[in-house]
A and B are shown apart, each in its own frame.
Chain A
Amino acid sequence: MSRKRFKGWGFPALALLLVLAACGGGGGGKESEGSPAPADGGSSGSGGASSPVELGITWWGPDERHQATLAALKIYSQQNPGVTFKPEYMAWDAFWQKLPTLAASKTVPDVLQMDAAYIQDYVSRGVMEDLSDIDLSGVVPDNILENVKIGGKLYGIPLSHNAQGVAYNKAALEAAGIPLPKQGWTWEEYFRWARDAKAKLPEDQYPIGDAANAWDWFQWYQASMGKGPIMSDGGKTFNLDHDLFVKFHEELSALRKDKVLPPPDLSLSFLENDPQADPMASGKVMTRGGTVGSVAALESLLPGKVDVVNVPNGPSGGGWAQSTIFLGVSSNSKHKEEAKKFVKWFITDPEGGKTLGLTRGIPINEAIYKELEPNLAAKDKLSKRLAEVASEKAMPFYPAGPGFTEWVDFYKTTMEAVMFGQKSIEDVRRDQQAGAGHRRQKQVNGSAG
């Protein structure tokens, strides 16, 4: 009896080992039962408008956008009896975690929101339907339409004007007797302003955040100095200017040493738009980056205290202004015609436009924005103001090219080592020049378009 009692532990241990280890081992492949790709191409959907159609639709965003979008879907169903929706909406992070698995299992909803940072990737993977045949003349300005085309084709309907700027805590700066950031400031003025401001701030408050581990800040710097984006040609060209890289990061390191920038362990604990951990909402940092689409959230955390200014300029401009949010149609949709009809409605219908408001930025359709303008809320006015201050000398939006997600991680990790003083900028420069981290990931099958 006693033998059974104790020896008994051995066998379940072995059995459990197999099961547990197997579960972990299989994890990578679980989502991978891909059925052969349907032969896509110009094949249009059924288009049978009379029979009832249920369109799947997915988007990311804050709660306000969810509510407005749901209301707009209801209006569409009223105007088009027989069309109903199956909405799936979530926050930014969850969206981009979920979409790859949906794409792999060919279950991407008929209509999906897309972002400029990822659209090239998804187009090259064949997820997005070609929408070039939708007539948008008079709705979307021609130059914008040309700008957002990929390989001459339109894969996403631009929804709004977006732009990158810098938000600052106007109330706190005025209280500390610090002159407000000057519209049109340059990088030199930005760094000098930070040094001067720090002198008037208490020890645990900082004029600017530490952007060393954010690759896009360096890209703005490099592009504004006339050296162009880091990645171009859809990821085929990689161009990081090593001299500017060293100059930019040495400036940041000097500021960090003089406590103008927050200590690295504080910098890495910030979480934007979190009421407690947001760099500005927590009262720790006076400025941070913001976009037209996201600055409204900051305004609701610090009501009436936020104002905006441009991303520091260089000789070639500064920041970016472009449409970055799109509505697209999934290439494996069974209701492509209905879906195309809906995405056009989304930016043209006055009633729908009124319901959606500025929840996706400044509407791309001038006619709709004109109707909204008289009744803008404070946070919407801030979004509009950011669009104005940013567009003065704005450059285009340069996403990380397809296949460069690993390089972005590499940049973040190595620059964090620099922030904590465990690597010198010279080391990183040498690594970069030797090509470490920034070799483009092998893209299997080329572009599966």
Chain B
Amino acid sequence: MTHRTIAGSAAPPARSRFARSVRRYDWTGYVFISPWLVGFLLLTLWPIGQSFYLSFTDYSLLSQPVWSGGANYAKIFGGDPTFKKSLSVTVAFVLYSVPLKLLFSLLVAMLLNRNLRGMSFYRTAVYFPSLIGGSVAVAALWRNMFGKDGYVNHVLAWFGIEGTGWISNPDTALGTLVLLNTWQFGSTMVIFLAGLKQIPQELYESASVDGARPIRRFYHITLPMLSPVLFFNLVLGIIGSFQMFTASFVITPRGGPMQSTYVYAVFLYEKAFKHFQMGYASALAWVLLAIVAVLTALNFLGSRYWVFYESDGRGAK
């Protein structure tokens, strides 16, 4: 973090104190990041501010927004049944999909962390589906696979099982989406793999010498050493799952059978672009932000009790 710049030091003496302080401040860095910075200010920060304002208005996209105070928020918390429904669907999705995806990607990462001949090939092969992971095309493919007449039911039929319409049955539709989410484990897995690589081999060696069996080595070395990575993936997983949209929107159009896959992001989208209630949708977006922020804060608080940073020297604190 060096603050002297060539431009700054070569500048003539400043007249006023303000001009001097402006000049002394290092602007070069901002110039370098300006392509990103301009985009961030105009395309991210400005719309965020705009949506905060709109969340206090009635705005149907075409007429001017009309200030309505907290009416949108009052309606959300005053028992909008669709809000409750979509929130409960989303929470169910998060509760199932996050742990499943973490477990599965950790398992795969551990398999890929072995020293086998041709491991780089396996790694590529396993990661490959994630390259096309969250796209609409994959969602459309899943829609065909899990349809009443899809491949999955054809395979089940070989074993004499008559499958249901997985995505058209309210009991199984959300589960199918959880499965799809778990299958898109690639980036989570890669982060786990990087974390596993960083665990010093000596720890395992000395534990082996002391007679620790693999399961014990996992619980007492791998898990604690990996806990920061696990925490990172957990936080990201929760945030990502709360914002799940594509799968629900493409695979189960219009919220699925009996709105069983009507997740929060789809609800928000429909409020905005189908029912033209931009103000209400903006309020929903801010409520979602608040929910995710609170959950993440709780996560960070809770992390003190289980995330282990090697150098703290205070155990799991």
Contact = CB atoms under 8 A, between A and B. Distances in A.
Interface stretch (B5-13, B48-56, B106-114, B120-128): B48-56
A104 B59 CA distance: 11
A269 B165 contact: yes
Interface string A337-350: 00000000000000
Given A6-B311, A10-B228, A29-B50, A127 B62 contact: yes
Interface residues of B, number: 70
Interface stretch (A241-249, A300-308, A353-361, A406-414): A406-414
Contact of B258 (A29, A104, A417): A417
A444 B65 CA distance: 9
Contacts of A422: 170, 258
Nearest to A442: B58
A24 B164 contact: no
Interface string B291-311: 011001000100000000111
A378 interface: no
Given A420-B257, A444-B58, A269 B168 contact: yes
A82 B122 CA distance: 60
B292 to A, nearest CB: 5
A375 interface: no
Q: In the A-B complex, list the 4 residue pairs whose CB atoms are closest, starting with the nearest.
A: A29-B51, A3-B311, A25-B289, A268-B168
Given A13-B235, A125-B61, A100 B273 contact: yes
Interface stretch (B25-33, B91-99, B179-187, B279-287): B279-287
A107 interface: no
B240 interface: yes
Interface string B169-197: 11000000000000000000000000000
Nearest to A277: B147
Most buried by B among A9, A16, A23: A9
Given A6-B309, A13-B235, A448-B62, A266 B148 contact: yes
B138 interface: no
Nearest to B68: A444
A447 to B, nearest CB: 9
A131 B169 CA distance: 47
Most buried by B among A3, A7, A409: A409
A444 B296 contact: no
A263 B52 CA distance: 45
Interface string A142-170: 00000000000000000000000000000
Given A29-B51, A127-B62, A405-B275, A9 B258 contact: no
Given A2-B311, A104-B61, A265-B164, A32 B51 contact: yes
B236 A20 contact: yes
Given A269-B148, A409-B254, A26 B44 contact: yes
B289 A22 contact: yes
Contact of B62 (A3, A27, A37, A267): A37
B239 A17 contact: yes
Contacts, number: 197
A103 B300 CA distance: 43
A51 interface: no
Interface of B: 44, 46-48, 50-52, 54-55, 58-64, 66, 144, 147-149, 164-165, 167-170, 198, 228-229, 231-232, 235-236, 239-240, 242-243, 254-255, 257-259, 265, 268-278, 281-282, 284-286, 288-289, 292-293, 296, 300, 309-312
Interface residues of A, number: 61
B66 A445 contact: yes
B288 A104 contact: no
Nearest to A25: B289
A370 interface: no
Contacts of A16: 236
Contact of A27 (B46, B268, B270): B268
Nearest to B66: A444
Given A21-B239, A448-B63, A6 B259 contact: no
A79 interface: no
A137 interface: no
B132 to A, nearest CB: 21
Given A27-B285, A266-B165, A21 B61 contact: no
Interface string A391-413: 00000000000000110010011
Contact of B311 (A7, A14, A97, A267): A7
Contact of B285 (A13, A14, A24, A33): A24
Contact of B242 (A24, A29, A405): A24
26 contacts: A2-B311, A3-B310, A7-B228, A9-B231, A9-B232, A10-B231, A12-B232, A13-B236, A17-B236, A20-B240, A21-B289, A24-B242, A24-B285, A25-B51, A27-B265, A28-B285, A29-B51, A30-B47, A32-B51, A34-B62, A266-B148, A269-B147, A282-B149, A416-B258, A417-B258, A443-B60
